[in-house]
Structure 1
């Protein structure tokens, strides 16, 4: 089964129709496994807050990731020091490496500039969706 990491921008985009939402649909249907770490879950919670979620809604949102059988939670030790322009982006690579992810899905230019890292393909959401023949509405 394909394992992937979603960066926070991609997760935020999943609230609207498009490729990011199609990826979430794959996850909810058990077709892919999401890799998460505690730092990543904190970022996801921050996104929920920015989207206007109440404290309860934020807790429910984050619990989706901690309670799903299609999530692999990994330790949060710092493993890589790659993105010099924005070191906070390294958390996504850390999670992908620790979780044995096949893909890191992002629109971040620093991460995309790598193209791949330790056999992890770094891809735009729309490219992942096209490659996996998943339909979505434009």
Structure 2
């Protein structure tokens, strides 16, 4: 069974440009090596931030890929865990990871470090370099 992951927006942005050293992570996701877990809130943030960086056309293109990918897992958490106080907006990724039983959240955001100190519900977090290493050695 393919691993379920949650991809923080900062790592999605790092992985999209074809010349990015992290582009292999995006390719692994769209090829279906991993199940990308998303909620409506996450999709809205993806679209907003991609539009800000590269415009609406690119955002629409990327969103279309994510939405139509057969290994994208759509879910909307019915419970809000509120585990991150420093940036409550990041909790949407945590809630998605818990509800979808994701293996981990891929992020470069230090606000997620607090999750390493929480035993329940357990949410693992890795950086994009570690995820890239996993992708390259799969």
TM-score (norm 2): 0.85
SS in 2 for 1:120: coil
CA distance in structure 2 between the partners assigned to 1:53 and 1:76 by the alignment: 29
CA distance in structure 2 between the partners assigned to 1:128 and 1:99 by the alignment: 19
- For residues 67 and 133 of structure 1, do their structure 2 counterparts lie closer, same or farther at Cα, with a shift above 3 Å needed? closer
SS in 2 for 1:33: strand
Alignment counterpart, residue 49 of structure 2, candidates 47, 50, 53: 47
SS in 2 for 1:35: strand
SS in 1 for 2:84: coil
How many residues are aligned here? Answer: 132
Give unmatched runs, 5+ long, in structure 1. Answer: none
After TM superposition, which residue ranges in structure 1, 4 or more long, deviate above 6 angstroms?
A: none
Give unmatched runs, 5+ long, in structure 2. Answer: none
TM-score (norm 1): 0.85
Aligned to 2:78: 77
Find out whether 1:126 has 2:113 as its counterpart: no
Aligned to 2:95: 94
What is the root-mean-square deviation in Å for CA atoms of aligned residues?
1.9
Higher strand share: 1
